[in-house]
Chain A
Amino acid sequence: DIQMTQSPSSVSASVGDRVTITCRASQAINNWLAWYQQKPGRAPRLLIYAASDLQSGVPSRFSGSGSGTEFTLTITSLQPEDFATYYCQQASSLFLLTFGGGTKVEMK
């Protein structure tokens, strides 16, 4: 199985801050990576797919980059509605999908 390791597991930030979350794959996954946002009591929401493509309706302050084994999700100018938990997910192994452990973005 491909293991996905996210860091940090949590980050404290203020409105307006730039936040960067990293996801590392245990083996190369090309650009087959997605990022999701999840708020308490809600289903996950797709933010970024294919490592850097912004899902329709997602604000442009969210961006993704990376290829191979290392990926980042960046939130420029954090907004109040962005406090949530973020997950990466690899889609390289077609029928052996795996998620990262999650990164909680908390208010400082």
Chain B
Amino acid sequence: EVQLVQSGPEVKKPGESLKISCQGSGYSFSSYWVAWVRQMPGKGLEWMGIIYPGDSDTRYSPSFQGQVTISADKSSRTAYLQWSSLKTSDTAIYYCATTTMTRFFFESWGQGTLVTVSS
């Protein structure tokens, strides 16, 4: 069974850095793309970017390019999403998701990580 387990909730101050994680199990982690999706409070889903853990090929939504960094460590089967300087507007739930399909229809999702940024 494919499982994605994300790191726990975070409370940070503006300007602080943060790295959240998403560990995959039950499938060949290196062989399938892992996406990150943002959901701001009471709002819809926004695709942020995607990484292929096998070679770390990473693509970003133009809306998030330069705002976050996506990375992966295939040895630990973990994908990461990081910020160098958080803003209050980064407060959201962040989901990782993956698919074994040839198109990006995401059949497996992490449980979400709530990031709260407040002074």
Name A's B-contacting residues (CB within 8 A).
1, 32, 34, 36, 38, 43-46, 49-50, 55, 87, 89, 91, 94-102
Contacts and interface: CB of A to CB of B under 8 A. Distances in A.
Nearest to A94: B104
Contacts, number: 58
A91 B61 CA distance: 13
Nearest to A48: B105
Nearest to B4: A43
Interface of B: 35, 37, 44-47, 50, 59, 61-62, 95, 97, 101, 103-107, 109-112
A46 B61 contact: no
A interface, by DSSP: helix, strand, loop or mixed? loop
Contacts of A99: 44-47
A106 to B, nearest CB: 15
Given A44-B45, A97-B35, A91 B105 contact: yes
